[in-house]
Chains A and B, each alone.
Chain A
Amino acid sequence: QSALTQPPSASGSPGQSVTISCTGTSSDVGGYKYVSWYQQYPGKAPKLMIYEVSKRTSGVPDRFSGSKSGNTASLTVSGLQAEDEADYYCSSYAGSNNLVFGGGTKLTVL
């Protein structure tokens, strides 16, 4: 149950696009279509943004999109806004009723 690999930080200016990667193995990200993305503000609970790789939860702006290629999933935030500054975590089903999270990425809006 090793954690998925995310870059510790990412940044972009308002209006730009930024992509956060989430790398696993064929036993988790690469083996299933069950990758989720969560947004977390400091001191708050995580919020589900994306599930099943690319499906947005109700109310999530379409500026947020998810994709996957091989063992790497990605979250892209287009048209960056100040309110997007937060921590982002990926998670994946890892078989045998196991789940694994990524280490998290701090997104800074410059």
Chain B
Amino acid sequence: EVQVLESGGGLVQPGGSLRLSCAASGFTFSSYVMNWVRQAPGKGLEWVSFISGSGGGAYYADSVKGRFTISRDNSKNTLDLQMNSLRAEDTAVYYCAKGRLNWNDGSMDYWGPGTLVTVSS
């Protein structure tokens, strides 16, 4: 059974940093792109970042470029998101989502339950 589970959310002050992790199981992790998608309270979905199966390619939404870094450890089946210089507008539930393919056509077939990040003083 495919499972993805996020961790690491919490309350952080503006300008601070936080590292999210996602543990994956039930599939050949290195064969699929992985994504981070966020949803601000009461708002819609926003794609944040994705990383290729090998980890050699990482891509970001303009809203987080230069502040967030995505990475993966294929030996441990884990995905991370390092978030720096956090702003109030980064407050959201962050989802880890498995890509359906080994490249990103935008389809994500398995999602974790999400982890809440709150940026507030």
Contact = CB atoms under 8 A, between A and B. Distances in A.
B45 to A, nearest CB: 4
A98 interface: yes
Given A51-B100, A57-B109, A99-B104, A46 B44 contact: no
In this complex, the interface size class of chain A, counting residues with CB under 8 Å from chain B, is: 20 to 34
A69 interface: no
Contacts of B37: 46, 101
A17 to B, nearest CB: 24
A98 B35 CA distance: 11
Interface residues of B, number: 25
Contacts of B97: 46
A51 B110 CA distance: 13
B46 A97 contact: no
B23 interface: no
A35 B106 CA distance: 7
Contact of A97 (B59, B111, B113): B59
B54 interface: no
B44 A99 contact: no
A92 B112 contact: no
Contact of A47 (B44, B57, B62, B111): B111
A31 interface: no
A100 B104 CA distance: 12
Given A36-B106, A45-B113, A48-B108, A97 B50 contact: yes
A88 B48 CA distance: 19
A34 B106 contact: yes
A64 interface: no
A14 B95 CA distance: 32
Interface of B: 35, 37, 44-47, 50, 57, 59, 61-63, 95, 97, 100, 104-109, 111-114
Which 6 residue pairs spanning A and B have beta carbons closest together?
Answer: A51-B107, A45-B111, A97-B59, A34-B105, A104-B44, A99-B47
